Amino acid sequence: MNEISILWIKELTKKGLINFSKHALDRMIEREIEDKKVIECILCGKVIEIQTNFEDIHVLFQEATDKNPEIYVIVAASYPYPVVVTVCRTDSEVWEEINGLLKRRRKKW
């Protein structure tokens, strides 16, 4: 089901059939991330996480780049169209880049 969700999100995004939540649009403005970069991240980026603890499956896409990725995008596989839930920069303490992929940092207890 997760692979189907990823393909479905990408296919509808290619067709321009994707919605942006108000939260995502606000974060894009705040973080100075253009919608073109978000779309490219979804279409060409790598999946770094799939979250199934929501009503809709959420897929996290990291920016496609040879360098350290600067952004990741969270997309809900909502019906009838996928929804960009939020857009984040990777310069937080949550993520670290390991062999070209973003991984959640382990919590230090």
Does residue 109 lie within any of the structural domains? Answer: no
In the prediction, which pLDDT does 39 show? 97
Does residue 35 lie within any of the structural domains? Answer: yes
User: How many structural domains compose the chain?
Assistant: 1
Q: Which CATH number characterizes residue 7's domain?
A: 3.30.2310.40
Q: How far is CA 90 from CA 21, 31, 68, 97, 109, in A?
A: 20, 11, 9, 9, 22
Does residue 37 lie within any of the structural domains? Answer: yes
- Domain extent at residue 98: 2-104
pLDDT tens sequence across 56-72: 999 999 999 888 889 99
Does residue 90 lie within any of the structural domains? Answer: yes
pLDDT tens sequence across 66-99: 888 899 999 999 999 999 999 999 876 677 777 7
Does residue 53 lie within any of the structural domains? Answer: yes
Does residue 100 lie within any of the structural domains? Answer: yes
Does residue 43 lie within any of the structural domains? Answer: yes
Asked if 10 and 18 touch (Cβ cutoff 8 Å), the reply is: no
Q: 3-7, 23-27, 98-102: which has the minimum mean pLDDT? A: 98-102
Model confidence at 108, in pLDDT bands (50, 70, 90)? low
